[in-house]
């Protein structure tokens, strides 16, 4: 995968996360409906995006460190094993956010962080980041290499989160202002199922590519 395609994939995954109601736009719509305010919808998107970004950044930090001490091939196999395990877990487990609707900025950020982590949002970025030309050298704890690698990872987080925020915000506003929530009863695909299968499919690519 070229770097251009890798960046496109990061943005595409961000858009996919934004599409998923469990990642935040449904919560934003619910807050807007409760408070009868478009401003509440827009306000909620900020901590939702922040929590998502922190969850992704944690994965990027761990990956940047691992790339400085582990050869690429075993790292790819290890990442594939994690993706398969998490994909299977997502197929049999269901996560529900347990947070009241009277939430402040910090609480909503924490909720978003937990939901993104529970759904393995950062894990899907691992294959893309491994395909990029990161400067960290295997078996080297040289801080410059780690810093550069983590810097590229942070740029990836920003690009990914921006795409997620744009898509989630657009859907939240359209649903709140015009569509309403009734369409979810018969017009929405099972995004969690698609996500779980995608995790395992990408794991196969990591092993055999």
* pLDDT at residue 181 in the model: 73
> What does the domain layout of the chain look like in residue ranges?
3-208
* pLDDT 10s digits, 22-38: 889 988 998 898 888 99
* pLDDT at residue 4 in the model: 86
For the full predicted model, state whether its pTM sits above 0.85. no
Contacts by 10-14, CB closer than 8 A, 24 or more apart: 10/125, 10/128, 10/156, 10/159, 10/160, 10/163, 11/159, 11/160, 11/162, 11/163, 12/163, 13/124, 13/125, 13/128, 13/160, 13/163, 14/159, 14/160, 14/161, 14/162, 14/163, 14/164, 14/167
- How far apart CA 168 and CA 24 sit, in angstroms, is 7
Query: For the chain, which ranges sit under pLDDT 70?
Result: 1-2, 93-102, 133-149, 183-192, 195, 209
């Amino acid at each position: 995968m070229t770097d251009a395609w890798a960046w496109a994939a990061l943005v595409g995954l961000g858009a996919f996360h934004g599409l998923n109601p469990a990642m935040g736009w449904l919560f934003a719509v619910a807050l807007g409906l409760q408070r009868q305010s478009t401003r509440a919808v827009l306000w909620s998107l900020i901590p939702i995006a922040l929590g998502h970004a922190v969850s992704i950044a944690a994965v990027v930090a761990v990956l940047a460190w691992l790339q400085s001490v582990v050869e690429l091939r075993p790292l790819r196999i290890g990442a594939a094993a994690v993706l398969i395990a998490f994909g299977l877990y997502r197929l049999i487990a269901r996560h529900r956010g347990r947070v009241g609707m009277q939430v402040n900025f910090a609480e909503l950020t924490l909720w978003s962080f937990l939901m993104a982590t529970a759904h393995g949002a950062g894990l899907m970025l691992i294959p893309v980041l491994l395909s990029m030309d990161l400067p960290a050298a295997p078996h080297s704890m040289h801080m410059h290499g780690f810093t550069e690698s983590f810097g590229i990872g942070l740029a990836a987080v920003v690009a990914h989160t921006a795409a997620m925020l744009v898509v989630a915000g657009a859907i939240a506003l359209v649903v709140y202002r015009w569509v309403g929530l009734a369409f979810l009863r018969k017009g929405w695909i099972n995004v969690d199922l698609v996500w779980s299968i995608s995790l395992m499919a990408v794991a196969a690519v990591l092993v055999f590519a």
